[in-house]
Amino acid sequence: MELSEQEIVRRQSLQTMREMGIDPYPAAEYVVTAYSTDIKTEYAQKESQLTPSELEEGKAVDSWPVSIAGRIMSRRIMGKASFIELQDSKGRIQVYVSRDDINTEEQPEMYNIVFKKLLDIGDFIGIEGFVFKTQTGAVSVHAKKLTVLSKSLRVLPIVKYRDGVAYDKFDNPELRYRQRYVDLIVNDGVKEQFLKRATVIRTMRNILDDAGYTEVETPMLQLIAGGASARPFITHFNALDTDMYMRIATELYLKRLIVGGFEGVYEIGKNFRNEGMDRTHNPEFTCMELYVQYKDYNWMMSFTEQLLEKICIAVNGTTESKIGDNVVSFKAPYRRLPILDAIQEKTGFDLNGKTEDELRDICKQLKIEIEPSWGKGKMIDEIFGEYCEGNFIQPTFITDYPVEMSPLTKMHRSKPGLTERFELMVNGKELANAYSELNDPIDQYNRFVEQMKLADKGDDEAMIIDHDFMRALEYGMPPTSGIGIGIDRLTMLMTGQTTIQEVLLFPQMKKEVID
């Protein structure tokens, strides 16, 4: 690998430090007693306690000792002083270094490190000193001791402005996603996005725990890709000498636990679907699935409204989130609309009771391209996706799906041919999918058989019969309601992002070719 001129200079500085007896990568613990934002907040609080007359007389806040550590983001030498902008895990603060303070017998090497420019932007240092405010009003740390903690060998793309033009911006999406570590360092607001994602998950987990439900873990490697209609990833399990699937859903294992006697179980984890990538889809995604005994999809709609409202407040301090030009309100209750009514509302076609041939004709009239392997459910889903889904900006429960679209769902108690299922649409995309779970083992087996017929016709997303799951159902599963919520899309909604890669720390990328 050919090094740039600046990379060569940094390696020379590294070697010079070692020759001076300074370890540029010390192993010892460095004790941090304060953080940038906390220092500024505390200083403001102390200053607010001064009287108007004291402020008028120029009285300053009494300094206090601190030990901070972080990455150098800028530096400038002005005569006998050096100013360093230090970035720690919470923010940035200025550090003032005087020649007189570090040009002592105790640390003569620090003079050379700072004033002979052996430190570079990107280096980690520790500073022991005291807090004060400069004449320009910047709350700063006056350094009395400096410790090198880690030498940076690559040059950070720090933005520079000349004549109002920005240079070295790190804004290429592919570079940002591939080198997320650089993105987090140099681009403001990126880290905050992922702190909000953590708040989404933490709040969800707290609500589910407080409700008395148990968090569990189920296998990611499965012999049968079940619980959803999707194309799986296939891998080989050497110890068992058998092909296995990366799970596409956690549903069937979680239902086994309901059979086993749990009142409510949930799992927050990765699922894998070997399908396309775009602004709202990633083949590896995080999902929360919840199953609760003795509940139905009506109860789950109410529970979901309350869950999302509380998450939005935790993340944004309000029940609203701004996403592009749209302001989405997560305040309960949400609209409830049967899927066939939604389709008729947007297309003018009443699909109730239509045969497969009639649906094919309607698809042609709507100019929707269809595959020979598609059954009624797939065609209805395609019509809804093409003509309806994008219109639902405010949270809307789309309910009562045809049985052909819902092989794991209980038949509707009063609407023949339909099931007790809903999908939650927000900002034009599906966020959640939920059912009154099918617990009739004979009905379930027949539904699986119908899925196998679709598979025989070439539908590679059709479900396979899971005989062990069928055996579990035959032992008896109580009435149950279940839901799956996509964490990545939920985070997009709560943080106002329109691209899923913006809420994934390390989204999938093509293999990088490195010279």
Kindly state whether residues 143 and 194 are assigned to the same domain: no
Kindly state whether residues 202 and 143 are assigned to the same domain: no
Q: How far apart are CA 149 and CA 123, in angstroms?
A: 8
Domain boundary among 156, 179, 213: 156
**Is residue 148 within 8 Å of residue 123, measured between CB atoms?**
yes
**Is residue 248 within 8 Å of residue 210, measured between CB atoms?**
no
Domain boundary among 156, 180, 200: 156
Q: How far apart are CA 290 and CA 288, in angstroms?
A: 7
Kindly state whether residues 198 and 152 are assigned to the same domain: no
What phi and psi values does residue 32 have, to the nearest 5 degrees? -105, 130
**Is residue 93 within 8 Å of residue 86, measured between CB atoms?**
yes
Kindly state whether residues 204 and 145 are assigned to the same domain: no
* DSSP letters spanning 57-114: TTPPPPP-EEEEEEEEEEEEEETTEEEEEEE-SS-EEEEEEEHHHHSSSS-HHHHHHH
Kindly state whether residues 287 and 384 are assigned to the same domain: yes
Q: What is the pLDDT of residues 178-206, one digit of tens each?
A: 999 999 999 999 999 999 999 999 999 99
Q: CB neighbours of 47 closer than 8 A, spacing ≥ 6?
A: 55, 61
Which residues are paired to 71 by β-bridges? 87, 124
**Is residue 213 within 8 Å of residue 292, measured between CB atoms?**
yes
Supply the pLDDT for residue 229: 80
**Is residue 464 within 8 Å of residue 423, measured between CB atoms?**
no
Supply the pLDDT for residue 419: 94
Kindly state whether residues 111 and 232 are assigned to the same domain: no
What's the domain range around 123?
5-156
Note the helical H segments in 317-419.
339-347, 356-365, 376-387
Kindly state whether residues 144 and 196 are assigned to the same domain: no
Task: Using DSSP, state whether 40 is helix, strand or coil.
Answer: helix
Burial 259-270 (b: 16+ CB within 10 A, else e): beebebbbbbbe
Domain containing 346 — which CATH number? 3.30.930.10
Q: CB neighbours of 456 closer than 8 A, spacing ≥ 6?
A: none
Q: At 123, which amino acid appears?
A: D
Q: What is the pLDDT of residues 14-35, one digit of tens each?
A: 999 999 989 999 999 999 999 9
Supply the pLDDT for residue 107: 67
Decide if 96 is inside a domain. yes
Q: How far apart are CA 184 and CA 176, in angstroms?
A: 9
Residue-level length of the chain: 515
CA gyration radius, the chain: 30
Task: Using DSSP, state whether 122 is helix, strand or coil.
Answer: coil
Decide if 177 is inside a domain. no
**∠ CA 167-170-171, rounded to 5°:** 105
Decide if 210 is inside a domain. yes
Domain containing 140 — which CATH number? 2.40.50.140
Kindly state whether residues 39 and 87 are assigned to the same domain: yes
Decide if 166 is inside a domain. no
Kindly state whether residues 194 and 71 are assigned to the same domain: no
Which helix (H) or strand (E) segment holds residue 38: the answer is helix 36-48
**Is residue 71 within 8 Å of residue 186, measured between CB atoms?**
no
Supply the pLDDT for residue 438: 95
Place of tokens 């590294």: 14
What phi and psi values does residue 358 have, to the nearest 5 degrees? -65, -40
Decide if 364 is inside a domain. yes
In order along its 515 residues, the chain shows pLDDT tens digits of: 789 999 999 999 999 999 998 999 999 999 999 999 999 999 999 999 998 888 878 788 988 999 999 999 999 988 888 999 999 999 999 999 988 887 666 666 777 788 778 999 999 999 999 999 998 999 999 999 999 999 999 999 987 777 777 678 899 999 999 999 999 999 999 999 999 999 999 999 999 999 999 999 999 999 998 888 889 999 999 999 999 999 999 999 999 999 999 999 999 999 999 998 999 999 999 999 999 999 999 999 999 999 999 999 999 999 999 999 999 999 999 999 999 999 999 999 999 989 999 999 999 999 999 988 888 888 999 999 999 999 999 999 999 998 888 888 999 999 998 999 999 999 999 999 999 999 999 999 998 888 888 778 777 777 788 999 999 999 999 999 999 999 999 999 999 999 999 999 999 999 887 76
Q: How far apart are CA 255 and CA 477, in angstroms?
A: 8
Decide if 163 is inside a domain. no
Decide if 347 is inside a domain. yes
Largest CA distance in the chain: 92
Supply the pLDDT for residue 194: 98
Place of tokens 């940038």: 36
CA atoms within 13 A on the CB side of 328: 29
Kindly state whether residues 320 and 391 are assigned to the same domain: yes
Domain boundary among 109, 137, 156: 156
Q: How far apart are CA 151 and CA 186, in angstroms?
A: 17
Kindly state whether residues 398 and 311 are assigned to the same domain: yes
Task: Using DSSP, state whether 197 is helix, strand or coil.
Answer: helix
Supply the pLDDT for residue 501: 96
And the tokens for 213?
């439900």
Handedness of CA 399, 405, 409, 412 (dihedral sign): positive
Q: How many domains does one find in the chain?
A: 2
Give 151: exposed, middle or buried? Use CB within 10 Å, 0-12, 13-18, 19+.
buried
- DSSP tag of 437: B
Which residues are paired to 480 by β-bridges? 293
Supply the pLDDT for residue 246: 96
**Is residue 34 within 8 Å of residue 63, measured between CB atoms?**
no
Kindly state whether residues 261 and 117 are assigned to the same domain: no
Residue among 430, 405, 401 at smallest CA distance from 490: 430
Decide if 101 is inside a domain. yes
And the tokens for 152?
């940076």
| Residues 465, 468, 471, 472, Cα dihedral to 10° | -110
